[in-house]
């Protein structure tokens, strides 16, 4: 059995605290913040987890790549709310791409010396375009069905477990914090008392997940294969939904269950590969 | 005591005295003045830290080390600069190397080099002293003083002049912004040891 003194801080920092903060803000802020409540709750819950985990290392004047994360979350929350209120779809997509590219640039910037300018530019572009595309798909999904927080929580949780086994416990813990915040949003996303998981909330969640995975790949050697599997998990739900719109059959519940399974498969495969790699190397 | 036993004792005493004399003369021999370059093949930087808050002493090394020495007849005029590639960390375990290179510890992508630049060197007649200077680690520069030992000097296989030094110090990793898992995963205090062999240019 794992030592409690090791596991307890992890559970507190990455599960209980972000879940509680997000839930309290969803309950208290539902009337005050209206549609912005899930965005505020997600950002605050994640920041609580971040500072509980990395408070001793964080510098308000960013020195390391992870120092940028709280600033990206705050700016990203504001940007997501503004972006999702833009009426014209092309302008909204352009705004998503701009925000995603800006966040990607901040993540890649500290690695400029190691990567070199061409690779850094390519990485920024790839991260920005992927995040913007996933944001668009998830925002679209959030406006139509309640599945995005569950699917994103599964991916973030899986990424967290994989990172804990693979390379970086701190980035793994932050993914765990994001998963817990999304779980709170999911728990509150029920009829009557619900604060709907808005497109802006979905956009912020995708942005946070993208920033964490980019950090993991660039700075902690998190393999591109794992990232590809997790990206596949993120887009499984919207792709299935598009397929079902083309061939409408079966109930919504059956569709959501299928989407959950299709999301879970690449996540489980990612965790399984990380467990095998850890076992093969003898663990430590 | 027989004559043969007495002869053996005298021979042994002479041999021991000879070894002691040669060792003493090697340690006392000052390094010839000049500019030296660190020989990467025969130099290495180690660190040692208490694992799991101090359950054991964990040790790893950096395989890629380079730098320059200026050895002066007056030790206080000597200088040293050492560059260590953080990506070259070697703990004998691939998975652990990956974790040590990650942002939890050395953040090798953002901070690929750890550098020590001396500002003051002392060395006594016995070849022991200190080297003070600035250590740049994890993007933070702090003054650190190493204990310094001149190990020896002599000619290499090609007749080139070589010198050897060992520098040791203890730092706190939190001073350098490496605070993850202190002290649960690894203690704050980290022992550094740099073994240098340098070739005269």
Residues of B in contact with A218 (CB under 8 A): 109
CB contact A212 to B (< 8 Å): no
Give the model's pLDDT for residue A274: 94
Give the model's pLDDT for residue A1: 53
Let me know: does A173 contact A212? Beta carbons within 8 Å. no
Residue contact A166–B98, C-beta within 8 A: yes
User: Which carries the bigger pLDDT value, residue B14 or residue B139?
Assistant: B139
CB contact A172 to B (< 8 Å): no
Prediction pTM value:
0.88
Min CA distance, B103 vs chain A (Å)? Answer: 6
CB contact B141 to A (< 8 Å): no
Residue contact B104–A168, C-beta within 8 A: yes
What ipTM is given for this predicted complex? Answer: 0.88
Query: Whole-angstrom distance between the N-terminal and C-terminal Cα of chain A?
Result: 16
As its CATH architecture, domain B31-200 has Beta Barrel (2.40)
Closest residue in B to A67 (Cα) is B103
Min CA distance, A34 vs chain B (Å)? Answer: 37
B91-118 CB burial, b ≥16 within 10 A, e <16: beeebbbbbbbbbbbbbbbbbbebebeb
- Mutation site, B110, B138, B175, interface A, largest A CB count within 10 A: B110
Residue contact B104–A113, C-beta within 8 A: no
CB contact A282 to B (< 8 Å): yes
**In this model, does residue B15 exceed pLDDT 90?**
no
Task: Write out the H or E segment, with its range, that includes residue B145.
Answer: strand B140-155
pLDDT digits (tens, 9 = 90+) for B127-184: 999 999 999 999 999 999 999 999 999 999 999 999 999 999 999 999 999 988 888 8
Residue contact A168–B103, C-beta within 8 A: yes
Tens digits of pLDDT across chain A (284 residues): 556 777 898 999 999 999 999 999 998 888 788 889 999 999 999 999 999 999 888 999 999 999 999 999 999 999 999 999 999 999 999 999 999 999 999 999 999 999 999 999 999 999 999 999 999 999 999 888 888 999 999 999 999 999 999 989 999 999 999 999 999 998 887 655 567 899 999 999 999 999 999 999 999 999 999 999 999 999 998 888 888 777 666 677 788 888 899 999 999 999 999 999 988 887 77
CB contact A173 to B (< 8 Å): no
B10-36 CB burial, b ≥16 within 10 A, e <16: eeeeeeeeeeeeeeeeeeeeebeeeeb
Nearest residue to A141 (alpha-carbon basis) of A20, A270, A260: A260
**Length of chain A, in residues:** 284
Residues of A in contact with B109 (CB under 8 A): 111, 114-115, 218-219
Range scoring the smallest mean pLDDT among A109-123, B14-28, B66-80: B14-28
CB contact A260 to B (< 8 Å): no
Query: Which residue's entry shows tokens 């953040």?
Result: B107
- Quote the DSSP letter at residue B33: S
Residues of B in contact with A66 (CB under 8 A): 103
pLDDT band at B69 (very low <50, low <70, confident <90, very high): very high
Give the model's pLDDT for residue B21: 42
Q: Going by C-beta distance under 8 Å and a sequence separation of 6 or more, which residues neighbour residue B149?
A: B127, B128, B165, B166, B167
Domain range annotation of chain B: 1-30, 31-200
Residues of B in contact with A283 (CB under 8 A): 95
Give the model's pLDDT for residue A248: 61
The whole-angstrom separation of Cα A111 and Cα A109 is 5
Give the model's pLDDT for residue A284: 73
Let me know: does A76 contact A204? Beta carbons within 8 Å. yes
CB contact B154 to A (< 8 Å): no
pLDDT band at B9 (very low <50, low <70, confident <90, very high): low
Domain range annotation of chain A: 4-280
- Mutation site, A212, A214, A281, interface B, largest B CB count within 10 A: A281
């Amino acid at each position: 059995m794992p030592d409690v003194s090791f596991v307890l801080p992890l559970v507190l920092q990455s599960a209980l605290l972000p879940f509680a903060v997000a839930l309290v803000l969803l309950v208290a802020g539902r009337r005050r913040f209206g549609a912005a409540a899930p965005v505020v709750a997600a950002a605050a819950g994640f920041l609580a987890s971040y500072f509980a985990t990395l408070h001793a290392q964080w510098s308000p004047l960013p020195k390391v790549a992870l120092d940028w994360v709280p600033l990206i979350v705050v700016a990203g929350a504001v940007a997501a709310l503004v972006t999702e209120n833009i009426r014209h779809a092309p302008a909204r997509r352009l705004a998503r791409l701009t925000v995603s590219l800006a966040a990607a640039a901040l993540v890649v910037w500290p690695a400029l010396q190691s990567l070199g300018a061409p690779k850094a530019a390519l990485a920024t572009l790839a991260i920005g375009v992927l995040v913007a595309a996933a944001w668009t798909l998830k925002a679209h999904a959030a406006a139509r069905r309640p599945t995005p927080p569950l699917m994103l929580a599964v991916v973030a949780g899986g990424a967290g477990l994989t990172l804990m086994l693979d390379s970086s416990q701190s980035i793994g813990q932050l993914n765990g914090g994001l998963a817990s915040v999304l779980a709170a949003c999911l728990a509150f996303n029920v009829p009557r008392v619900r604060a709907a998981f808005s497109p802006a909330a979905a956009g912020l969640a995708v942005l946070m997940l993208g920033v964490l995975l980019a950090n993991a790949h660039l700075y902690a050697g998190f393999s591109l294969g794992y990232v590809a599997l997790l990206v596949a998990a993120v887009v499984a739900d919207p792709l299935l939904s598009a397929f079902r719109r083309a061939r409408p059959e079966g109930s919504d519940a059956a569709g959501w269950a299928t989407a959950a399974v299709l999301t879970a498969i690449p996540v489980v495969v990612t965790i399984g590969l990380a467990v095998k790699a850890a076992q093969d190397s003898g663990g430590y | 005591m027989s004559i043969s036993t007495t002869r053996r004792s005298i021979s042994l005493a002479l041999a021991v005295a000879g070894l002691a004399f040669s060792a003493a003369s090697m340690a006392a021999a000052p390094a010839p003045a000049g500019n030296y370059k660190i020989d990467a093949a025969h130099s290495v930087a180690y660190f040692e830290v208490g694992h799991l808050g101090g359950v054991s002493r964990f040790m790893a090394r950096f395989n890629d080390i380079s730098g320059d020495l200026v050895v002066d007849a007056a030790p206080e005029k000597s200088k040293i600069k050492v560059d260590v590639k953080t990506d070259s960390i070697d703990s004998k375990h691939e998975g652990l190397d990956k974790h040590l290179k990650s942002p939890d510890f050395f953040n090798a992508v953002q901070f690929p080099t750890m550098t020590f630049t001396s500002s003051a060197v002392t060395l006594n007649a016995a070849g022991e002293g200190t080297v003070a200077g600035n250590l740049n680690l994890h993007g933070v520069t702090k003054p650190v003083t190493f204990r310094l030992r001149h190990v020896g000097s002599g000619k290499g296989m090609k007749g080139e002049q070589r010198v050897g030094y060992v520098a040791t110090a203890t730092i706190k990793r939190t001073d350098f912004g490496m605070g993850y898992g202190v002290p649960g995963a690894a203690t704050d205090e980290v022992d550094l040891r740099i073994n240098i062999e340098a070739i005269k240019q």
